Amino acid sequence: MNKNSSKQIALSKKLRRLYIIALLAVAIFSIIGQIMIQYAISEQQNDATVINLAGRQRMISQRICKNILLLSKSTNFFIDTTLYINDLKEIIPLWRDVHLGLRNKVLENKGKKIIVKNSEKIDSMIAVVHPIFLTMISNAKYLLYEIENTNSPDRKMNMKAAISSILENEFNFLKTMDKIVFQYDAEAKDRISKLKIIELFLFFLTVLILIIEGFFIFRPLYHQVSDTILTLVKSEDNLYGVNLQLKSTNESLIATENQLLKTQEEKFKLQLQEGKIRSASLIEGQEAERKRIAFELHDGIGQMLTGLKLTAERIKISSLESEKEQKALIDLKQLLDSTMAETRTISFNLTPSVLDDFGIYSAIKILVDNASKNTNITFLLEFPYNFERYSTSIEITLYRIIQEAINNCLKYAEATTINLSITKSDDYILLIISDNGKGFDRRKLKTKIVRNGIRNMQARTELNNGEFKIISKIGKGTKILVKLPLS
C-alpha cells in the first residue's frame, strides 16, 4: 500500500467519523424539537379544554339564574316547570364538578383526566370566587328543593330571599370568572411564545451544524470524490480494451451455451416421447392381454363350467340314496353358480364387451350396478343427454379410470356416496368422480396399490394429452378430475 492510499484511507475514516457526529447532532435536535412540538400541541389541547370549561361556567351560572327565575313564576301556564327542573338537576352537578376541578387542579372531560396548571394568580382568583360559588350553588339547590317538595306558607318568602342572594352574587361570579378565563388564555399564549423561542433556537442551531458540516465534511469529501472519479476514469479507459475482448469471447460462449441448451431440450423431448410410446405400448399390451384372458375365461373356462353345470343338472336328487350325497349335489350346483358368476364378473372387469358394442355409458352403468350389489354405497350418475360414442382410446381411458377409482373407494374410502359426472363440450370431455369418504394425504400415502392406481390413472390421462388432478383431505373425501381433449 503506497503513501497516498494510506492518506486517503485516513482521510476517509476522519470524514466518516465527522459525518456520523454531525448527523447524530442534527437527528438529536430534530427529535428534541419534534418532542417539544408534540408536547406543546398536547398542552395546548389541554389549555383549550380548560379555557372552554372555565368559560362555560359563566354560561351555566346564567342558565341557572334564568331557570330559577322562570320556576319562581310557575303560575304562568305557558312555562313547562318539569323541563326547567330537569335542566337544573343536570347542570348544577356539572357546574359544581367543573368548579371543584379547577380548584383542585384535576378536570375530567369525556372520561379523560386533565391536569390543570394554575398559577398563583389563578389560585388567588379561584379562592375569591369560591365563597361566591358556594353561596350560589347552595341557594340554587335550596330553591330546587323548595320548588319540588315544599308547599309551606313561607315558601315564597324563602324563595325570594334565595333568589335575591343568587342574583346579588351572580355579577361578582361572572366578573371574577371573566378574569380567570382571560388569565388562563394569557398564560397559554405565554407558554406558546416561550416554546416558539426554544424552537427557533433549535432551528438556528441545526442550520449552523449543517453549515459547519458543509465546510468541514462535504467540501473535503467533494475533493476526495473528484480525485477518485479521475482515477476511475483512467481505469475505465484501460479496461475498455479488455472488455471488448471479453465481449467477443462472451458472445461465442453464449452461442455455444444456446446450442447446448437446444440439444439438451431436444434430447429431453425425445426421451419424453419415448417414455410416452413405451407407456402407450405397455397399456395397449395390457388391454390386449386382458382381452385374451377375458376371451379364454368366457370361451374356455366358461364353457367348461357350463358343461359341468349341465352335467350336474342331469343328476336328479331323488336318484341319490343318502342325504349326504343329496346335500353334496346341492352344494356342488351352488358352487358352480357362484363360480360361473365370478368368472363372468372377472371377464367383464378385464374387458367388458358392452364397451365395444354399446359404448362408455352402458359399460359404466353395468360397472356401477355390479359394484352396488354387495355394498351399501349410493351411486349418483350424471351423463350427457345424448349417449354418443367416442374414440376407442378415450372410452377405454375413461372406463379404466372410473374402474380404478371405484375399486379404491370400495376398498379404502369407507364412503356412503359416490358421485360420477361426465360432461362434454366442443373440445373436451370432463370426468369428475367424488366421494364422501375419509380421504387421505397423498404425501403420507402408505398403500402401494393405491399409489400405483393413481399413477396408472395419471399415465392414461397424459397419454391422451389430457389433464389429471386429484384433491383429497383427511375427513373431507376425495375428488378426481380428468379432462380429455376430443381432437
Of 231, 261, 295, the residue at which a domain comes to its end is 231
Q: Read off the C-alpha cell for 453.
A: 392406481
Residue 386, pLDDT above cutoff 70: yes
Condensed to tens digits (0 to 9), the pLDDT of residues 341-383 reads 666 666 556 667 777 778 888 888 888 888 888 788 889 989 8
In a domain, 111, yes or no: yes
Residue 433, pLDDT above cutoff 90: yes
pLDDT at residue number 39:
64
Residue 77: pLDDT band with limits 50, 70, 90: very low
Rounded to 5°, the CA angle 114-200-39 comes to 15
Residue 40, pLDDT above cutoff 90: no
Q: Are residues 222 and 362 in the same domain?
A: no
In a domain, 416, yes or no: yes
In a domain, 276, yes or no: no
Mean pLDDT is lowest, of 23-37, 243-257, 296-310, 348-362, for 296-310
In a domain, 304, yes or no: no
In a domain, 28, yes or no: yes
Of 179, 202, 231, the residue at which a domain comes to its end is 231
In a domain, 330, yes or no: no
What mean pLDDT is reported for the chain?
77
Of 231, 261, 281, the residue at which a domain comes to its end is 231
Ordered DSSP codes for 211-278: HHHIIIIIHHHHHHHHHHHHHHHHHHHHHHHHHHHHHHHHHHHHHHHHHHHHHHHHHHHHHHHHHHHH
Condensed to tens digits (0 to 9), the pLDDT of residues 306-316 reads 666 666 666 76
Residue 302, pLDDT above cutoff 70: no
Q: In sequence order, what are the beta bridge partners of 481?
A: 432, 469
CATH of the domain at 466: 3.30.565.10
- What number is the average pLDDT over the span 119-123? 87
Q: What are the angstrom distances between the C-alpha of 139 and each of 102, 175, 247?
A: 21, 19, 102
Residues 480, 469: Cα–Cα separation, whole Å: 6
Q: Are residues 227 and 358 in the same domain?
A: no
Residue 479: pLDDT band with limits 50, 70, 90: very high
Rounded to 5°, the CA angle 478-482-483 comes to 150
In a domain, 202, yes or no: yes
Highest mean pLDDT among 126-140, 318-332, 384-398, 443-457: 126-140
Q: Are residues 166 and 18 in the same domain?
A: yes
Structural domain count of the chain: 2
Q: Are residues 225 and 364 in the same domain?
A: no
In a domain, 237, yes or no: no
Residue 482, pLDDT above cutoff 90: yes
Q: Read off the C-alpha cell for 447.
A: 398403500
Condensed to tens digits (0 to 9), the pLDDT of residues 156-214 reads 777 788 888 888 888 888 888 888 888 888 888 888 888 788 878 878 887 887 788 77
Residue 299: pLDDT band with limits 50, 70, 90: low
User: Per this entry, what is the length of the chain?
Assistant: 487
Per the structure, the complete domain to which residue 434 belongs is given by 354-485
Contacts of 298 (CB under 8 A, 6+ apart): 343, 344, 347
Residue 298, pLDDT above cutoff 60: no
Report pTM: 0.39
